[in-house]
Structure 1
């Protein structure tokens, strides 16, 4: 445990490089379009000074103070993200699940918009050199390559992208310094009064916050990817990243002031900082950096989905762990969904300028939900009440303003990200609500009255032996209880005779990497129960863990797994193991409230497209029998039947 903690907090060259490659793509490429969005037409000094000041203080208050200094402290044993934060505070109110669902769904929706706009803006930069280059096919080809790379793990991706992002940020700083030297007066924009004047006195200045917000859209990725890079690697690398970003923004502002009174239309101050001989190289580096920008949201999406599964907010889809490094994760089904969503966005909007309207609105909601959860976490940590209230009011005002300013994007494309987010919220709500409905309706019985019957069945030679070792997965939290459906499966749905019955219960903890188990011998040599306590980031390889437990029991002479067939027992042949997974289906004998009916119908409809639970639990390499059992919700008890003679 100590070593893992040390590894998480330690700053290393490799860790800093991986952080640069994984989490700063989105926020790091914002200089490509932020000032162009803030100053769309006539170059006005008040607009330039105010815009640069807003960017400086947004990066300082929103990214540095809220995320880098405060939110990174709310780590769940080294893991970050809105669901990790929710896991820390969920016992403080059932309503917090709605906050987590809205925030998580909005961040996933942003993950569908970020890759297309980043890659499109990059490829369109090439049009400055090759005006007739077709962008859409190139964008789709690059997205296909990027999503294909995900299966190799974020460590490989980070090491490949890290050096490239180092070149990018160094280029930002050099170009920015060139601009500042020509007009050092731009440094006055550090005064927050310029930001105040823009928002309050400049006509329509408040609505420019929607453009200013683009400079901090990648801040949530800093927190989501905490488990991939480590808190101190993020904090240390952010000093370098923020410095380079601000130097470049101030440099762009200096160039704009040099050309005040002119029309900016059709020109990008970022590229205008480049000398003519460097333009092709600069566009090439910017293209690569903007492609990398999509990595942060893709990586964060995998983390979010894995944690949502553990919290019963997402279908139990297959998770892969490409490397042995903690935090390395790949979700094949999510990778495919994100890719299809990104391609659809590219084909619908076609140009990055059209995508800007859909960009930023969803992530504002995520940031607001993070603020709510963080406020609850600060209170749980016994932080002084006045400080917590001040934090909630300050960031409620900042993010509320950003949200209002971003709402003008809704009719121009913002509805796309909100529509995607709403669909994801629907899936999460259905899955969580169905989980509680199923738990409420699952009937548990005491195991003790059935022990003698299990022993008798085990010794009944008239019943064909189903398996030497029969293993059931049970959701019963008490070791003295079992589902009625399991008893029905053993005794009535074809009697299942076995030498030893095993009942396995898997509990997911709020800590990420717990790996504990407890064995209870319910009936000597005949019935055992194993309780696994696994962290929410531990791969569910139940077959492997179960074999390890059985090996330990055999070594300690607590169980004999030799086959009880006389001919095989003499040769010390190990008996076979067979797993039974009970899969529920919606019974036709149901009469229940309309809302629950709709939820369960939606749940079972989605289930058709999801692999069965044996794959999620890592049982697909074992001998598994999947049995269908009816989920009866409030069955109709009175049936009006008349007997006729």
Structure 2
């Protein structure tokens, strides 16, 4: 009775259904979810590249840098290469780490730094996109205070997340199609004013700006803003599929480049003048179109935040699976593949975005801080990708060439972005360091607990379990007693569970169940395995759930019991005589053991700090029964001490 079976016939098939196959709907959802961040970069990139007097070298060189950054960084590295490194259809730096983690423990540090930097710098993405668009209203309404409007829009967007990205994507997709079409048309309008701007496609102009123009190299920090959404694009892979992303990118890149060249064409017509706070994006519009353009840009900027938000949800879910983030509640608003909502992260991002808006207030101040941490993420992704290429048996010289090329490109971007540190870049760095600390503490604490959790063979306790079950002098605790166990081997159980049953308070039950949840690398696995430990007295149930399957252990366990009853493998009728005659089902009670740090410890200093930090953070997080989706009315949370190193000597004298 230990065959592996499907957990639910209907659930796994419905979960598999999604928009990852190439289709019109998939392409529209990709436009709505994936490209918000990178798609709204024309709102602020050229304004950041040309901060003062307009010169030919600055305009041509800036446009050339943008073109080749989008080509080398976004197209080649991410769209063509990195999207292949998917973990059963899922993307993001944590998924990439899951593919290569066996190649060295040091890779854990790489992914923690990269993941934390991506989440931290991303907090600036919604404020800068929305602020850049809303500030266009100042051209029509001078002196308008845009901060309250920006905050109101952000609150509305984050409230939408609980409905799922399927609904958001379907609503946003057509709007983003309109946005990119508008970018292309405006770009063509600007190019017509100065067709020679197309010569900026020559990489010489980029070289000339970086090498020959005074201070030109430091403008790479502004150029980098055109590709900041590339990492979020990879994180959102599971929502749309690589086919839809690649096809839609052809359209998106064409529209972006047309608009950048159009802004360049308008800038050249103003050569020698000061930009003086004007935004080339709005300035090149015909006067009659300005209000329409601001309206569409505002909606697009709202949508721009979506790529970051959905990517953050994916990152957190995968970090939990890798034991690098607290086990917070994950919601799945729809039955469509890839749809995920993390309430705690949604609140954290909203508060972070509001704080950024209140601190910086203006988009130009945010530009000065934006992009520093994301360059670190891209460098970390490059290092992990090199390991993945070696895993795919790509020739070593090609892997070294890849490392050198992208190490040089991203290293240059990082150096250029370092000048942003005193101008607000320290904000994203500070948030990154806090997130790195949480991830490090959680991973280190996991290994400490695993090392010190004592497991014992379960067989020697079966006779004692049967005797306790039949001992009527002990008050019955429950008809069915269910323990959540972390023991991976079927023959073992935590010694703390044995202690809880026999010693802490003898827990007499008719049937004992030991439930273990194994999270697989495949996203949508839904299987279970039952092992009978003692005939009609003790069972072990092992769930194999994919990392994208919602943890509804209460529901799944009921399904398992129904299957066992149907197959006449277990009798769950109450064994109280009066209830048994009525064929009443016995009650089920779950026990979750929650560890606390015992005071009887002599810890090494580092481990002491780690464990104290771990338990401090844990008190702000819902208990594990919430994560497992257990019915709180039938759950007992039992505190057990985590004794790491017993005190070796006590200087205690007996006095007579």
Q: How many residues align?
A: 645
Deviations, residues 208-254 of structure 1 (Å, cap 9, x unaligned):
10000000010111110011111111111111100000001111111
Structure-2 change in CA distance of 1:69 and 1:480 (3 Å): same
Whether 1:198 and 2:198 are equivalent positions in the alignment is no
Contact 2:16/2:524 (<8 A) preserved: no
| TM-score, structure 2 normalization | 0.97
1:244-393 matches, cutoff 5 A: 244-393=255-404
From 64, 70, 92, give the equivalent of 1:53. Answer: 64
1:467 matched residue in structure 2: 478
Residue range with higher mean Cα deviation, 259-268 or 490-499: 259-268
Aligned to 2:608: 597
Post-superposition shift, 1:318?
Answer: 0.8
Sort the Cα spacing of 1:2 and 1:315 in 2 relative to 1 into closer, same or farther, 3 A: closer
1:84 corresponds to which residue? 95
Q: Which residue pairs with 2:509 in the alignment? A: 498
SS of aligned partner of 1:492:
helix
The change in CA–CA distance for 1:323 and 1:523 in structure 2 (over 3 A counts) is same
Distance 1:563 1:295 in 2: 51
Equivalent of residue 454 in structure 1, options 457, 462, 465: 465
2:33 counterpart (22, 31, 42)? 22
Alpha-carbon distance between aligned partners in 1 of 2:544 and 2:104, rounded to the nearest angstrom: 24
Q: CA deviation at 1:111?
A: 2.4
- TM-score, normalising length: structure 1: 0.98
Q: 402, 407, 427: which one pairs with 1:416?
A: 427
In 1: Cα distance, 2:606 partner to 2:585 partner: 51
CA contact (8 A) 1:466 1:497 kept: yes
Q: Which residue number corresponds to residue 8 of structure 2?
A: none
- 1:469 match: secondary structure: strand
Residue 41 (structure 2) pairs with residue 41 (structure 1) = no
From 242, 245, 250, the equivalent of 1:234 is 245
1:155-181: CA deviation from partner (whole Å, max 9, x where unpaired): 111111111111111111001111112
Are 1:121 and 2:125 counterparts? Answer: no
Where in structure 2 are there 5+ consecutive unaligned residues? 1-11
Question: 1:220 maps to what in 2?
Answer: 231
Shift of 1:101: 0.7
2:207 and 2:15 mapped to 1: Cα distance? 46
Match of 1:477 among 478, 488, 496: 488
- Partners of 2:414 and 2:648 lie apart in 1 by 51
1:8·1:231 contact (CA, 8 Å) conserved in 2?
no
Match of 1:631 among 642, 651, 656: 642
- TM-superposed CA distance for 1:2, in Å, is 10
Alpha-carbon shift at residue 567 of structure 1 (Å): 2.1
Q: Secondary structure at the match of 2:416?
A: helix
Instruction: Give the deviation of 1:5 after TM superposition.
Output: 7.8
**Equivalent pair of 1:503/1:529 in contact (CA under 8 Å):** yes
**Aligned-pair distance for 1:71?**
0.6
Distance 1:179 1:337 in 2: 40
Secondary structure in 2 aligned to 1:358? coil
CA contact (8 A) 1:110 1:297 kept: no
Tell me the distance in 1 between the aligned counterparts of 2:324 and 2:609. 17
Q: What is the CA–CA distance in structure 2 between the aligned matches of 1:465 and 1:285, rounded to whole Å? A: 67
Note closer, same or farther for the CA distance 1:489–1:330 as it changes in structure 2 (3 Å cut): same
CA offsets, 1:173-209, max 9 Å, x none? 0011111122211111111111111111111111110
Q: 1:556, 1:380 → 2: CA distance?
A: 45
Determine helix, strand or coil for the equivalent of 1:582.
strand
Identify unmatched segments of 5+ residues in structure 1.
Answer: none
**Which of 477, 480, 489 pairs up with 2:500?**
489
TM-superposed CA distance for 1:622, in Å, is 5.0
2:9 is matched with: none
Name the CA shift for 1:382/1:247 in 2 (closer, same or farther; >3 Å): same
User: Is the contact made by 1:543 and 1:622 (CA closer than 8 Å) also made in structure 2?
Assistant: no
Listed one character per residue, the Cα deviations across residues 22-74 of structure 1 (whole Å, up to 9, x for unaligned) are 11111111111111111111211111111111000000010000110011111
CA–CA separation in structure 1 for the residues paired with 2:486 and 2:624: 13
Matches within 5 A, 1:153-232: 153-232=164-243
Question: Are the aligned partners of 2:524 and 2:545 in contact in 1 as well (CA < 8 Å)?
Answer: yes
Identify the residue that residue 69 of structure 1 maps to in structure 2.
80
Aligned to 1:101: 112
Equivalents in 1 of 2:302, 2:511: separation in Å? 56
Taking a change above 3 Å as real, the CA distance of residues 578 and 6 of structure 1, as seen in their structure-2 partners, is: closer
Q: Distance in 2 between matches of 1:595 and 1:348?
A: 35
Matches of 2:369 and 2:215, distance apart in 1: 20
Partners of 2:50 and 2:427 in 1: CA distance:
25
- State the alpha-carbon separation in 1 of the partners of residues 274 and 361 from structure 2: 26
Q: How far apart are 1:20 and its partner, in Å? A: 0.8
> Is 1:518 paired with 2:519?
no
RMSD across aligned positions (CA)? 1.4
Q: CA deviation at 1:3?
A: 10
Alignment partner of 1:438 is 2:449: yes
Alpha-carbon distance, 1:637 to partner:
2.1
The answer to whether the aligner puts 1:559 opposite 2:570 as a matched pair is: yes
Q: Tell me: CA distance 1:198–1:5, structure 2 relative to 1, closer, same or farther (3 Å).
A: farther
Which residue number in structure 2 is paired with residue 641 of structure 1?
652
1:284-341 deviations in Å (ceiling 9; x for gaps): 1111111211111111111111111111111111111000001101111111111111
